[in-house]
Structure 1
Amino acid sequence: MESENKYLSAILPLKKREETQNRWLFHRLNTLLPALMKKHKVDMWITAGREYNEDPVLKSLYPTSVDGSRRLTILVFYLDQEHLKKWVLHPNPNFEPFYERAWNPEECDQWECLKRLVDEHNPDTIALNYSSTFAAADGLSHSCYQQLSMLLDEHSHKFVSAQHVIVDWLSIRTTKELVAYPAIAELGRMIAEEALSRRVIHPGITTTEDVVDWIRQRVLDAGMETSFYPTVDLQRKGSVMDRLEGEIIRFGDIVHLDFGIRYLGLATDTQQLAYVLHPGEEEAPEGLQSALQTALRFEDIITGEMKVGRTGNEVFHRAMKKAREEEIEAMLYSHPLGNHCHEAGAIIGLYDQQNDIPIKGDLPLTANTCYALEFNIQQYIPEWDQVIPIYLEEPVAFIQHRLEYMAKRQIAYYLI
C-alpha cells in the first residue's frame, strides 16, 4: 500500500497537468521550433487538418484547451530572420497566446486568408506535411494538398517536405521536459513493479491476461492511459515456445512484461522481468541469473556505443560487433521515445531487420532525445537444459550529451 500511495500521489490533478503541458508548449514554440526551422532552412511551415481527420502532428502543437480541429484548422509558421511568427487560421480564442489569430471570418475564408499570408511574406520554401518515410510527417490529406496546390499555384515550386522539422520537433525534448521525463518513466516502472508482485500475481491462479487487465485498469484509474496495449508472457522450463501467453502463471516461470504509460503528453516503454519462486526457493536459479547478467552486459555495450552524432546504423553495428566478440547471442531494436511510443527519429535496428535500416537508421542520434533501449539475448540455462531469451527494455535520455537511465534500472529479477 505504501508503494501504491507513493506513485499515485505523484500524479497531478487534471488542471495542473494542463498548466504544465501548456508551459512546455509555449516554451517549445518560442525556443525549439525557430531553431529547427533555421537548422533545416525552412522559411514557412503550413500544417492543416480537418475535424476527426487531424494531421497527427497537430496534437503536439495544440494547447490543452483545444481538443480538435473543428471543421478546419490551419497553422502557419513563418521564420522572419530570427523571429518566428505563429498564426492560426481558426476562430477559437483558446489558441491565444500560443498563436496569433490571423483570420477574420467576416472578410474571407480560411484558404483566402492563407493565400494572403503567403503572398505577403513570399517565403523561399514552404514545408508541408508529406513524407514517404516518417508516418507522423505524412499527415497532410490528399484533398488538403490539392487545395494548397491550386491556391498557391505560383508558389507550388517552393513546396518541400516538412519531415526533418517534424522529426526533430517530435523527438527533441526541451530542458523543462527533460527534468520531468525521468519521473514519468519511473512512474511507469513502479506500476510495472507492482504488477509483477504478489499483490497481483498468485501462482497457480493468475493468468497472463489477468495481469494485463490489472495494469490497464490501474493506469485508467490513475487518470492516465497506456502508450500501447501491454503484453505479459512467460518463459517456462520445458516449453517449446519462448513467449507463452494466455497461460496460468506457475512456480518457476519468468514473467515478462512489456508496458508503457502516456502522461503529460509523453510516452514511456519498458520491459521488466520477474521470477516466480518455488516454495522454499529464495532466489532464481543460477542459470537464469547468469542469463540476466549477460543481458545487462549487452545493455552496457549498447549504452557505451550510443553517442550523439552517430547514426542509428553505426550504433547497431558497433554494439553487435562487440556482442559477437564476447559471444553474446543478441538482437538489438531500439527506438526513440517522445509524444509517441515509437517516436520519429533515428532507430537502432528492427526486430525483424537485424541489419542496416535505410533512412531512419541513417539519421544521427541527437542531443536532448530519449530512447527505449530495447533488445534481447539468448542463453543456455543448465537447470532447464534449454536456451531461453531474456527480453529487456529501459527508457534512457541524452542529457547534456550524456546517456542516462530515466528510471531505476532493473539489475535483478523481481521475485514473486
Structure 2
Amino acid sequence: MFHVFPFLQIATVFLGVVHAQIHPSAPARYVTLPSLRDQAAIVDNWRDERLENIPVLLNKYSVDAWLICQRENAEDTLWWSVKGATEYAPHRRTVLLFHTNTSSLAGQPNPMRWVDNTGDVWAELTSIFKTYKARRIALNTDKEVAFGGGLHVGEYEALAEELGERWLDLREVNEPMLAVEYIAARVPGQLPYYRDLQETTWALIGEGFSEKVIAPGITTTEVTDFLAPVMDVEWWLREKMLLLNVTTWNHPRVSVITPDSFPGWAGTKNVIQEGDLLHVDFGITAMGLNTDVQHMAYVLRTSENETDALPGLKVGMQKANRMQNIVLENMQAGKTGNQVLKECLDQMAAEGIQGQIYSHPIGDWGHAPGAVLGFTNLPTFVPILGELPILRNTYYSIELYAYHFVEERNETLRFRVEENAFWNATTEKWQFVYGRQEQFHLVNATRRAETRPLFVVQP
C-alpha cells in the first residue's frame, strides 16, 4: 500500500528537504560542436591521456601484460575505447599488448599493436614474453562482467594453440577490473564538452515537449499508423538529432504516464491530450560520449485556461528530486553499489518516500562499466555488478522514480527522472553535469505559431 498523506502536509515536508534549486535558470540551447576534424583530434588526445594510466592499472592488479586479440567484425569490447577517432574497425587480426613500461619494454608504444593475417604476430609475441619475463598475462575472459569478457572464443582458441602451455596455461589471469577501470575513467578535458551534450539533450527535450511539436488531440507519442499525416514525438527527436550532427545509443521512448504505465523500455502509442503527464527517456552520442536523460512534461488544459502544472504533480517531482539528493549523498567512492543502494533505500524509508533506484555508470557507453545501483527487476540487491566498487573520476546516470499520490487526479503515479552526474575531484562529491529537472516542461497549445507548419524539423 502507498502512504497517502494530506496534500498540504506532503508539500510542506518536501519543499523543506529539497536542496537549493539547480534547474538551469535559462532555457537550454543547441550547442554547436567543433568540426568533425577538430573533434577527432580532441578525442584522440583524450584517449592518449587515458592510456597513460595503463601501467598504473597493471601494477594495481599485479599484471605484467594485458593481451587483446580480435578480428574485424569480432571486436573486443575494449577496442572502442582504445582505437583512433578515424578507425571504425580493427583490420585483419589486430593484437594489442599493454605493458607496465619497465625493463625491456620501456619506451615502447603502449599498447604495442600488430595488424596481421600471416601468423607472424605469434613469433613476435613469444619473443616479447620471453624477454619481458611476463608472469601474469591478463586476457578478457570474464563470464560475468561484459567489459572484461570481450575475447571471442575463436580468438581464445587461436591464442591457446599459438602461444601454448608456457604462455597461457600457466600465466593467464582474468582481471575484469582492468577493463572496468580503464573504460570508466574520465579525463578533465571531457567535462566541458559533456556539459554541451547535456545542454543539447535538454534543448531537444524542451522543443520536443512544447507546442512547437505537440498539438493536443493530434500528435502521438509514437507513430500508430505509418499512413497518418502527422509526426510523432519519438521520430521527431530522431530526425532533429541528425540535423544537429549527433546520433543516439537508444531510440527515444516517449510515453504518457498513467498509474499502470511502466512499460519496460518501450514508449506508449497514445494520442497526446490536454492534461497528460508525458515522459521521455533518451540520450545522444557524440565525441565518444553518451548522455542519458529522463524528463517529464505536462500538457496544459488550455481549453480550461490552465497555466501551470497541478500542485500535486509538482510535489511528485520534488519527491523524485529528493531521491536524487539521497543517491548523490550516499555514493561514496569505494563503497559497493549494493551498499549505496541499501543506504539510499533505508534513508528513503526513514523519510517516508517510496520509489525505486536503478542508477548506472555512463561515458563511452550509455550503460558503461562499473557498479550499478539496482535494476528495475532487482530493486534491493544486484549480484556481480552491484558488488563492484564506486569509482572516482567517472560519470553516473542518476536514474530512479518516486511514487506519489496526486490528489487532484486521485492517482498514484511514478515520477521518473534521470540526469547525468560527474565526480568533482576538488570537492570529492558528485554533482550534476548541467543541472536537473525541477520544473515540468509545459505544452501550451495557445502559443502555437500560426505560421509555422506542424511538425517541420527546423535546423
Question: Are 2:173 and 1:160 equivalent residues in the alignment?
Answer: yes
Question: Are 2:442 and 1:415 equivalent residues in the alignment?
Answer: yes
1:36 to 53, 57, 60: 57
Distance 1:4 1:305 in 2: 30
Shift in Å, 1:330: 0.9
Q: Kindly provide the CA deviation profile for residues 362-405 of structure 1, in whole angstroms up to 9, marking residues without a partner as x.
A: 22211111100000111111111111111000100112122110
**Structure 1 contact 225–261 (Cα < 8 Å) conserved:** yes
- Alignment partner, residue 23 of structure 1: 45
| Residues 1:136 and 1:242: Cα distance change in structure 2 (over 3 Å) | closer
Q: Secondary structure at the match of 1:360?
A: helix
1:340 to 352, 358, 365: 365
Question: Are 2:111 and 1:59 equivalent residues in the alignment?
Answer: no
Alignment of 1:308-319 (within 5 A): 308-319=333-344
Q: Secondary structure at the match of 2:386?
A: coil
- Alignment partner, residue 35 of structure 2: 13
- Alignment partner, residue 226 of structure 2: none
**Partner amino acid, structure 1, of 2:95:** I
**Partner amino acid, structure 2, of 1:313:** N
Question: Are 2:209 and 1:184 equivalent residues in the alignment?
Answer: no
Alignment of 1:66-105 (within 5 A): 66-81=87-102, 85=108, 86-90=110-114
Q: Secondary structure at the match of 2:385?
A: coil
**Structure 2 contact 186–394 (Cα < 8 Å) conserved:** yes
Shift in Å, 1:242: 5.0
**Partner amino acid, structure 1, of 2:213:** V
Q: Secondary structure at the match of 1:90?
A: strand
Question: Are 2:221 and 1:208 equivalent residues in the alignment?
Answer: yes
1:295 to 311, 314, 320: 320
Shift in Å, 1:87: 4.4
1 or 2 for the larger relative contact order (CA 8 Å, sep ≥6)?
Answer: 2
- Alignment partner, residue 447 of structure 2: none
Shift in Å, 1:289: 1.0
Alignment of 1:96-245 (within 5 A): 109-152=120-163, 153-156=165-168, 157-209=170-222, 210-236=232-258, 240-241=260-261, 245=268
**Partner amino acid, structure 2, of 1:45:** W
- Alignment partner, residue 225 of structure 2: none
Question: Are 2:290 and 1:267 equivalent residues in the alignment?
Answer: yes
**Structure 2 contact 398–419 (Cα < 8 Å) conserved:** yes
Query: What TM-score comes out, normalization by structure 1 length?
Result: 0.90
Shift in Å, 1:159: 0.7
1:329 to 354, 360, 367: 354
Distance 1:84 1:140 in 2: 27
Q: Secondary structure at the match of 1:225?
A: coil
**Partner amino acid, structure 2, of 1:391:** R
Shift in Å, 1:47: 0.7
Q: Kindly provide the CA deviation profile for residues 283-318 of structure 1, in whole angstroms up to 9, marking residues without a partner as x.
A: 111111111111111111111111122211111011
- Alignment partner, residue 97 of structure 1: none
Shift in Å, 1:129: 1.0
Query: What TM-score comes out, normalization by structure 2 length?
Result: 0.82
- Alignment partner, residue 284 of structure 1: 309
Distance 2:28 2:323 in 1: 34
Distance 2:143 2:153 in 1: 14
Question: Are 2:412 and 1:390 equivalent residues in the alignment?
Answer: no
RMSD across aligned positions (CA) = 2.1
Distance 2:28 2:310 in 1: 33
**Structure 1 contact 312–362 (Cα < 8 Å) conserved:** yes
Q: Secondary structure at the match of 1:184?
A: helix
| Residues 1:264 and 1:130: Cα distance change in structure 2 (over 3 Å) | same
**Structure 2 contact 54–99 (Cα < 8 Å) conserved:** no
Distance 1:261 1:287 in 2: 31
- Alignment partner, residue 405 of structure 1: 432
Distance 2:381 2:28 in 1: 45
Equivalent pairs counted in the alignment come to: 397
**Structure 1 contact 44–76 (Cα < 8 Å) conserved:** yes
**Partner amino acid, structure 2, of 1:48:** C
Q: Secondary structure at the match of 1:7?
A: coil
Distance 1:4 1:378 in 2: 28
Distance 1:343 1:189 in 2: 21
Shift in Å, 1:12: 2.0
Shift in Å, 1:90: 3.3
**Structure 2 contact 72–93 (Cα < 8 Å) conserved:** yes
**Partner amino acid, structure 1, of 2:289:** L
Structure 1: gaps spanning 5 or more residues: 92-102
Shift in Å, 1:226: 0.8
Q: Secondary structure at the match of 2:130?
A: helix
**Structure 1 contact 183–406 (Cα < 8 Å) conserved:** no
| Residues 1:84 and 1:34: Cα distance change in structure 2 (over 3 Å) | farther
Q: Secondary structure at the match of 1:388?
A: strand
**Structure 1 contact 371–395 (Cα < 8 Å) conserved:** yes
Distance 2:28 2:101 in 1: 50
Shift in Å, 1:114: 2.0
- Alignment partner, residue 388 of structure 2: 363
**Structure 1 contact 186–406 (Cα < 8 Å) conserved:** no
- Alignment partner, residue 100 of structure 1: none
Q: Which has the higher strand share?
A: 1
